[in-house]
A and B are shown apart, each in its own frame.
Chain A
């Protein structure tokens, strides 16, 4: 067999597993920590791999492929499953023909998310089995098993990772792709696929029977396994928590669960009966623990390990060995280093104006959410994809005249395609006096610049139709649609001032490519410089929060005798000449390096 070893991330390994399984169609919306799965899969020849506008569309596309007998993969971050929950719950009833695997990449600790929901609950809620790998080799193998289980039990299978599994790398043995057993083709089966009440009523008992079958299967599933050690401590665990527990207490006995739903109850009962003290080590919610307790077994879980945030070897050891809190190494308070908009980012100018106008800004999910941080401090709400527009609408309807001219919604182009269109449709339909700024940087920036329906390019790099945002807004019924250059601060201020006062819907499209884009450039790339003779130390440029502009403490006077406490300086390696700082400087102290 052609097998080689390579170091892969959990995400790359899932892509490899899907490829080795002969997946035909894969769909996703980018979202940390899941994004690299489809990016990696896109590099293999064979499967159709797409960025869908959102997770619901991605799952529905995968369903269609599976109904057609092909193996299909849908990938999303944990909150993406909320968007895809509608098809998911009924997909559980229809089942599949070709295998269908839904990857949910959860984000304990919220490294890059708005909540840390534990998506294992979805498996129980939607009545589908869930596998959970612990490292990259398992991520690949479990993906392959998930496809097999999906076909064997006629069910979608969820594969759950967490950030530490998705983004950690370890050694993987790869294999050659296989041909799936089901042959794709059109097969009519309306009683199974048309979920009218009469048919759905027939399917629900099938689902319950399937879960019973799966629970029996879980008892002999080889990835639910006991690793006997000393019997003083027995640990039931899965996913990354297994690795942490194994690290800090390798001598203990382990029941490692590769399938976290449904649980192998007899296996658990037998394991529990043979150890002195039973622990469940799991991140976030007591999902396994509560089911073990419901079996009437005595177990320690969330009494020993935190309910909130990510686990790590330190926390797991502390819980298992009942250690006292460690003495912190005393040190000075250090300046924080939060993520920040890039130098030359097209969002910066918009947020500096929103800050200046003191508007209430309903925000959305993307790089521009960083507009919340000082000194820009110009985001007032952020909840989920597309919510900015609904929030602005609700404020308008609740406050009427009082809010007119004081509220604006900001949403990125990719987020607008994901979930903003229906919100805007509602604003028009229900006569909202809402202004929406679409921050069109021509990419899905925060997750690493993925394409979307407005970029004219597919995941595979093929040319495709490019949606025109202005025409789309007009087609939805917005009469006032303006496009601005976000690097022209005076124009941005003028347009926002005018549009927010309108007692009817309006859309402002801030159009300039992401400064990291390799395809398009809107900034000169030529660094600016501060003329120290002219700088008065007024700090206007610093209020833009650009990483390229810094304060130099230096009390004295400038060349014109103006007293100052310091002066601004521009880092020529970081600056790319977006000119915003030159525009806000009232003293003409910021110029191009050529003196212009």
Chain B
């Protein structure tokens, strides 16, 4: 078992399923025997705003918030949002990027430009970089909404927690008929 705290930062846009993904993570880390804390702010963030969720696990966790400069694993559900939180990254982070762009209002209105080369910026910044077409993989699994579970699969592939703990807790969070789609999404994410 890791004897230091692992810091995972998830960022994206309200409505992308980030909070549900982080809830599953918290359950998984508890079941794997760790102390765990996670934090995000709900409320106005539900309305399509920028969302960041901090998940920390280890033998004993005090702060629910990651200190700036200490996120070991960065899961970006959206490209622009990835750039917004770079100051949180540790010197040698693992970055999982969902290749998806959601235009903020200024870009939709044509007043601002969506930043270019997000992938290049992130891959330069990362020790380990992985880009994932979570939306496409979710569609392949059978439901575009399962993109968050695709990313959990990718996260599983870089942590050492038994697969069954993940799949058990994923199944617990969805109605039975949605189980197979989400397991397939998890598998595709793991293999990505």
Contacts and interface: CB of A to CB of B under 8 A. Distances in A.
B48 A566 contact: no
Contact of B49 (A243, A248, A338, A545): A338
Contacts of B69: 314, 326
B179 interface: no
Interface size class of A (residues with CB under 8 A): 35 or more
B26 A169 contact: yes
Contacts of A334: 80, 83-84, 115
B123 interface: no
Interface string B42-66: 1111111110000000000111111
B163 to A, nearest CB: 20
B64 A168 contact: yes
B47 A314 contact: no
Interface stretch (B104-112, B126-134, B149-157, B182-190): B104-112
A339 B68 contact: no
Contact of A335 (B36, B40, B114): B114
B134 to A, nearest CB: 15
A331 B125 CA distance: 12
A335 B106 contact: yes
A339 B44 contact: yes
A446 B43 contact: yes
A335 B80 contact: yes
Contacts of A431: none
Contacts of A240: 64
Nearest to B67: A313
B49 A247 contact: no
Contacts of B65: 164, 244, 312-313
Given A7-B27, A317-B67, A542 B109 contact: yes
A241 to B, nearest CB: 10
Contact of B30 (A5, A331, A332): A5
Interface string A424-458: 00000000000000000000001110000000000
A549 B144 CA distance: 21
Given A331-B86, A339-B47, A314 B68 contact: yes
Nearest to B110: A551
Nearest to B29: A7
B47 A312 contact: no
A503 B36 CA distance: 61
B72 interface: no
Nearest to B39: A168
B48 A339 contact: yes
A328 B105 CA distance: 26
B44 A111 contact: yes
Interface residues of B, number: 50
Given A329-B86, A550-B103, A339 B30 contact: no
A545 B104 CA distance: 11
Interface in A310-332: 312-314, 317, 326, 328-329, 331-332
B44 to A, nearest CB: 4
Contacts of B47: 339-342, 367, 370
Nearest to A77: B43
A87 to B, nearest CB: 26
Contacts of B40: 167
A332 B117 CA distance: 12
Nearest to B45: A339
B160 to A, nearest CB: 20
B43 A112 contact: yes
Contacts of B68: 312, 314, 326
Contacts of B86: 329, 331
Nearest to B47: A339
B30 to A, nearest CB: 6
A246 interface: yes
Contacts of B66: 313
B159 interface: no
Interface string A374-389: 1100000000000000
A244 B115 CA distance: 34
A336 B84 CA distance: 9
Contacts of A331: 83, 86
Given A7-B36, A374-B105, 8 more contacts: A112-B41, A164-B64, A246-B62, A250-B62, A313-B63, A542-B108, A542-B109, A566-B110
Q: Which 8 A-B pairs have the closest CB atoms?
A: A112-B43, A551-B110, A339-B47, A32-B43, A168-B64, A339-B49, A168-B39, A313-B67
16 contacts: A5-B30, A32-B42, A33-B42, A111-B45, A169-B23, A169-B37, A170-B61, A243-B62, A244-B63, A312-B67, A326-B69, A334-B80, A334-B115, A337-B105, A539-B110, A547-B105
